[in-house]
A and B are shown apart, each in its own frame.
Chain A
Amino acid sequence: MITAPHKSRLLVLLCGLCLAMLGGAFSFAACEVQPDAPNADRQQVLRDLVNNVIVPSYNDVTSSTATLVDAIRALRAAPSVDTLASAQTAYRAARAQYKTTEAYRLGPADDLAITGEAIDTWPADSTKLEALLAGTGPLDVVEVGKLGSNQRGLPALEYLLFDSAVSDAEVLSRFTQPGSGARRAELAESVASDLTIVCKRVSDALGGPTGYGHQLAEAGVGSSLYAAQSEGVDKVVTALVYLSELVVLKKLSKPLGVDMNNVVQPAQEEGPRSDSSLRDLQNNLAGIQAIYSGERGALTGQGLGSAVRTINPGAATRFEAALQATVAALNAVPPPLRSALTQNRPAVEAAYQAFRALKSSLVTDVAGALGASIGFGFSDTD
C-alpha cells in the first residue's frame, strides 16, 4: 500500500522525470535541426584582434608620426612647395593611420594619464595658437607638452600646415615670412615631435608581454585586467559603439546642422582646413571593418564577425549589409565635405542615415549576438 508521504514523493519524482524527459527531447530535437556551430573561439578572436589589428596599427601610427616629424623638419630647414607638399602628405598619412584606430580606442589609447587627450582633440584653438606664434616664448617640445590638448596633436598641425580657404602658396608664405615663418615652422616641428612622443607612449603601453594588448588578448585566461573573456569582448564592442555614436552625434550631425534646424555648419567639420573629414570617416569605417573581419592589410585572423556569425548568422548578415551600405553611402559623397554639405546635401544625409543604421545594427545585432549587454556598463545585472 502506498502511503500519503510516499504518494507525494512519487509525484515529485514523476514530475522530475517528465521534466528531464522533456528537456532531453528538446535537446535532441535541437541537435537534429541545429548541428554544433563551428566553434568561433573568442579567445582566438581577441588574440587575433590584438596581434593583427590593434597593436600593429598603433605601431604604424607612431612610425607615421615619426615620418611626419622628418617631413616637417625638412620644411623648416628649407620651406618650399615640395617640402610643404611632403609635410602635408606625411600629415595625411599619419592622420589616416590614427583615424583607423578610433574604432578600437581602448586601454592606454583611452587613458587620460597616458594620452593627455593630446592626439586628436578637435577643433584646435586657433586663437591660442596664433597667440603662441605672435609671442616670444620658447616653442620647443617641452613647452608644447605643457600646452592644452586643443593646441597639440593632429588638429594643431592641421591648423599650421593647411588652410582650405587659401592656396598652398599662401600657406607656404606663412612659413617663409621673416621672423614669424621660422616660429611657425618651429612650432609645427615641436607639435609633431610631441605627437610622436604621446603616440609612442600609447603603443609602448599596448605592446610587450605585460602590456594592455596582452591583458586584452588573454582576457579570462591569465589577464590581470579582465577576469572573464566576455569582459574583453565587451570592451571591444563598446569601443565600436562609441565610435559609431561619435560619428552620428558629432562628426556628421553637427556639420549637417541636425540639431540646428538643418542649417549646415561647415565649421563643425572634423578636418575642415585639410579637407580630411570624409577620409576620416572612411578610415573610421576601415577600423570598424578591421575589428569585425579580423583582417588588416596582409594580416588575417578571426574578428568579431566570426563570433557573431557563429551565434546568430542573421545578425551577422544584417550588420555586414549595414556596413557595406555605409561604405557605399560615404563613397557617394563628393569631396570635400564642406562643399558637399551645400551642393550635395542629400548624399551627405544618406551617409548620415547609413551611419545611424550601422550604429543601430551594432547595438542590437552585434552586441545582442555577443551577449555584450551582460557587462555592457559599470553596474551589475541580474
Chain B
Amino acid sequence: MRAARSLPRRSWVEATARLAATASTPVSSASLRAFRVLFGLLLLGALLRSWQKGVIEQAFRAPSYHFPYYGLAFVRSPGVYTYALYALLGVLALGLAFGRATRVCAGLFCLLFSYLHFVDETFYLNHYYLVSLLSGLLALLPSQVAGAPELVPRWVLWLFRFQFGVVYFFGGVAKLKSDWLGAAEPLRTWLAASTELPLLGGLFTTAWGPFVFSWLAAFYDLSIPFALCSRRARPYAYLAVLAFHALTARLFNIGLFPYLMMVGSLLFLAPDWPARLRSLWHKRREPGAHASASASASGVHATLRPRVYVPVALYVLLQLLLPLRRLAYPGNVLWSEQGYRFSWHVMLMEKSGSAEFRVVDRATKQSRLVDPRSILTRSQTKAMATQPDMILAFAHELAARERAFGRDAAVYADVFVALNGRAPARLIAPHVDLAHEQDSFANKRWILPAPP
C-alpha cells in the first residue's frame, strides 16, 4: 500500500524535475531578439501613427475630465507634456529595435506607456494592455544565459508563448456565447459595413456568411496556440495567423493588434528560426544555426531557482485568473462589463449608448438635465454611455462639481444601450442616486439585467 501511494507522488516529483530541467535548458535567443526588434519597430510605427492622428490632442489635452481606473484616481494627464513623453517613448522603442540597453528601454517603455494608458479608461484597449505586459516581460526576464549571450533559458521563451497563447485562448473562450455563435453578432453587423472587400465582400450580407466567419474565428482563437505548439502543424498554423490577422487588419480599425499578433506568433517557431532563415537565404548552414544544440554541447546551463519560478508561477496564475474573474459576477459580461477589462474580450460587441444625467439639489429639490457632451469629448461620451463604472465615475464628477458650488446633489442616470443588434434597453436603474454609490470590485446592483 505504501509503495502504491508513493508511486504517483514520486512520478509527480520526477515530472516536475524533468520540467524544471527542460525549462532551464538554454536555447537560442535569436527568435526573442527578432521579436524584440520587430516589437520595437511596431511600437515606433504605432506611436508615429497616433501622433499623426491627433491622439495626443484628443485623448490627453482636449478632455477637461479624465475617467480614472479604479484605485488609480491619482494618475493625471501629462497635458502638453504628452508630446515629450511620446517622443521619449519613440526613442525607447528605437532602443528596443536596435538592441541598445534593451532591458532599460523596455522597463521605461512599460512604465511610461502604462502611465499614459492609465490616464483615462476611455482609451482602454486590450492590445495596449498586451504592450505593457510584453514590454514588462522584456524588461524583467533574462535576455541571456550567463556567459552565453546568444542563449536564453527555455522558460523565458515559454513565458512569452504562454502570454500570446492566453490572449488567443481566452479570446476564444469569450466567443463561446450565444451572441457570437447563435446570432453571429457583432460580426453580422460589422461585416455588412465592409461589402466592398474583393472576393469576400459578397459573403458578408448573406445569411450564412457571418455565421461561418464567427465560428471560424472562435475555432481559430481556441485552437491556434495549440496548433502553433505542434511541430507538424506549425507552418500551416502560422499561415493561418497571417491570413486571419491580415483580414482583420483590413476589416477593422484595430491598429497595432493584428501586427502584434503576427509578430508574437513567430515566437512559437523554432527558437533559432532567424538563423535558419538566414542560412536558407545564403543557401548554406551557418555556425549559429543550431544554437540550442551547441548550447547543450557547450555545457552552459541555467538553474531554475525559487526566486525565479515563484514570481513566474504567480504571473502565470494571475494571467489565468484575471480573465476568469468575470465568472464572479452575475449576468452577461458584455452588458455589465464587470470583469470585462484585462480579460481578452477582443472584438465581441457592437454596443451603442445614449446617456443623460439628472442632477437634483437635495436642499431645494431643483433638478436639471446634464448632457455629458457639455463636459466630455465625443469619444469619452461614447465610451462612457455603455460602461457602468464610467457612468458611476461621471456621476461622481457631476456631484463634485455641484459641491464646488456649495450644493449637495443627487445624480441619476438615464442610459439606454443597444447591444449586438438588440433593441435599446435601460442599463442603469434610473431611481438610484449614483452620487451615493461607491465603486468597488463588488457586484454593482444598480446595473439592470441585460435584455434577452
How many Å lie between the Cα of A378 and that of B55 in the bound state?
A: 7
How many Å lie between the Cα of A230 and that of B54 in the bound state?
A: 20
Q: How far is the CB of B194 from chain A (nearest CB, A)?
A: 6
Within 8 A of B (CB), among A10-33: 12, 16, 19-20, 22-23, 26-28, 30-31
Q: How far is the CB of B385 from chain A (nearest CB, A)?
A: 7
Q: How far is the CB of A241 from chain B (nearest CB, A)?
A: 8
Closest to B359 in A: A259
Q: Quick check: B416 and A36 within 8 Å, CB to CB?
A: no
Q: Quick check: A229 and B371 within 8 Å, CB to CB?
A: no
Does A220 reach chain B (CB closer than 8 Å)?
yes
Within 8 A of A (CB), among B216-249: 216, 218-219, 223, 226
Contacting residue for A261 out of B186, B208, B366, B423, CB 8 A: B366
Q: Quick check: B373 and A28 within 8 Å, CB to CB?
A: no
Chain B hits for A310, CB < 8 A: 192, 205
Q: How far is the CB of A171 from chain B (nearest CB, A)?
A: 35
Interface string of A360-381 (1 = CB under 8 A from B): 1101110111111111111111
Interface SS of chain B: helix, strand, loop or mixed? Answer: mixed
Q: How far is the CB of B416 from chain A (nearest CB, A)?
A: 6
Interface string of B334-364 (1 = CB under 8 A from A): 0000000000001100111110100000000
Chain B hits for A127, CB < 8 A: none
Interface string of A332-361 (1 = CB under 8 A from B): 000000000000000000000000100111
Q: Quick check: A377 and B193 within 8 Å, CB to CB?
A: no
The size of the chain A interface, using a CB distance under 8 A, is: 65
Within 8 A of A (CB), among B4-41: none
Chain A hits for B416, CB < 8 A: 360, 364
Q: Quick check: B195 and A16 within 8 Å, CB to CB?
A: no
How many Å lie between the Cα of A258 and that of B347 in the bound state?
A: 38
Does B212 reach chain A (CB closer than 8 Å)?
yes
Q: Quick check: A377 and B194 within 8 Å, CB to CB?
A: no
Q: How far is the CB of A307 from chain B (nearest CB, A)?
A: 8
Does A202 reach chain B (CB closer than 8 Å)?
no
Stretch at the interface among B68-76, B250-258, B274-282, B320-328: B250-258
Closest to A241 in B: B378
Q: Quick check: A371 and B353 within 8 Å, CB to CB?
A: no
Closest to A360 in B: B354
Does B58 reach chain A (CB closer than 8 Å)?
yes
Stretch at the interface among B79-87, B94-102, B121-129, B287-295: B121-129
For chain B, the bracket of interface size reads 35 or more
Q: Quick check: A379 and B257 within 8 Å, CB to CB?
A: no
Does B374 reach chain A (CB closer than 8 Å)?
yes
Does B196 reach chain A (CB closer than 8 Å)?
yes
Chain A hits for B253, CB < 8 A: 228, 231, 374-375, 380-381
Q: How far is the CB of A15 from chain B (nearest CB, A)?
A: 9
Q: Quick check: A43 and B196 within 8 Å, CB to CB?
A: yes
How many Å lie between the Cα of A311 and that of B54 in the bound state?
A: 32
Within 8 A of B (CB), among A200-256: 220-221, 228-231, 233, 238, 245, 248-249, 253
Q: How far is the CB of B133 from chain A (nearest CB, A)?
A: 14
Q: Quick check: B418 and A364 within 8 Å, CB to CB?
A: yes
Closest to A380 in B: B255
Q: Quick check: B369 and A258 within 8 Å, CB to CB?
A: yes
Does B215 reach chain A (CB closer than 8 Å)?
yes
Chain A hits for B366, CB < 8 A: 261
Q: Quick check: A382 and B368 within 8 Å, CB to CB?
A: no
Interface string of A30-41 (1 = CB under 8 A from B): 110011110101
Q: A16-B219, A31-B208, A360-B354 are in contact. Are A368 and B382 (CB under 8 A)?
A: no
Contacting residue for B193 out of A312, A318, A374, CB 8 A: A374
Q: Quick check: A382 and B374 within 8 Å, CB to CB?
A: no
Q: How far is the CB of B180 from chain A (nearest CB, A)?
A: 11
Closest to B251 in A: A228
Q: Quick check: A36 and B352 within 8 Å, CB to CB?
A: no
Q: Quick check: A19 and B219 within 8 Å, CB to CB?
A: yes
Chain B hits for A373, CB < 8 A: 350-352, 382
Does B184 reach chain A (CB closer than 8 Å)?
yes
How many Å lie between the Cα of A42 and that of B195 in the bound state?
A: 8
Q: How far is the CB of A80 from chain B (nearest CB, A)?
A: 46
How many Å lie between the Cα of A229 and that of B369 in the bound state?
A: 37
How many Å lie between the Cα of A20 and that of B223 in the bound state?
A: 13
Q: Quick check: B219 and A314 within 8 Å, CB to CB?
A: no
Q: A26-B215, A233-B193, A245-B371 are in contact. Are A379 and B123 (CB under 8 A)?
A: yes
How many Å lie between the Cα of A221 and that of B268 in the bound state?
A: 37
Q: Quick check: A37 and B205 within 8 Å, CB to CB?
A: yes
Chain B hits for A42, CB < 8 A: 192-193, 195-196
Q: A26-B181, A249-B371, A379-B55 are in contact. Are A230 and B193 (CB under 8 A)?
A: yes
Chain B hits for A380, CB < 8 A: 125, 253-257
Within 8 A of A (CB), among B381-423: 382, 385, 416-418, 421, 423
Q: Quick check: B382 and A249 within 8 Å, CB to CB?
A: no
Q: Quick check: B211 and A229 within 8 Å, CB to CB?
A: no
Q: Quick check: A360 and B424 within 8 Å, CB to CB?
A: yes
Does B190 reach chain A (CB closer than 8 Å)?
yes
Within 8 A of B (CB), among A291-312: 307, 310-312
Does A61 reach chain B (CB closer than 8 Å)?
no
Q: Quick check: B208 and A28 within 8 Å, CB to CB?
A: yes
Does A315 reach chain B (CB closer than 8 Å)?
yes
How many Å lie between the Cα of A303 and that of B406 in the bound state?
A: 50
Closest to A19 in B: B219
Does B188 reach chain A (CB closer than 8 Å)?
yes
In order of increasing CB-CB distance, the 10 nearest A-B pairs are A380-B255, A23-B215, A360-B354, A230-B193, A364-B418, A368-B352, A364-B424, A368-B418, A377-B379, A220-B196
**Cross-chain pairs A/B with CB under 8 angstroms, 16 sampled:** A12-B223, A16-B219, A23-B212, A23-B219, A26-B182, A26-B211, A43-B195, A248-B371, A249-B373, A253-B371, A312-B421, A359-B354, A361-B424, A373-B352, A380-B254, A380-B256
A residues within 8 Å of B by Cβ?
A: 12, 16, 19-20, 22-23, 26-28, 30-31, 34-37, 39, 41-43, 220-221, 228-231, 233, 238, 245, 248-249, 253, 258-259, 261-262, 307, 310-312, 314-315, 318, 356, 359-361, 363-365, 367-382
| Beyond known contacts A228-B251, A259-B370, A379-B59: 20 more, CB 8 A cutoff | A22-B215, A26-B215, A27-B208, A30-B207, A36-B207, A238-B378, A261-B368, A310-B192, A360-B354, A364-B416, A365-B418, A365-B424, A368-B350, A369-B421, A370-B189, A374-B350, A379-B125, A379-B379, A380-B254, A382-B254
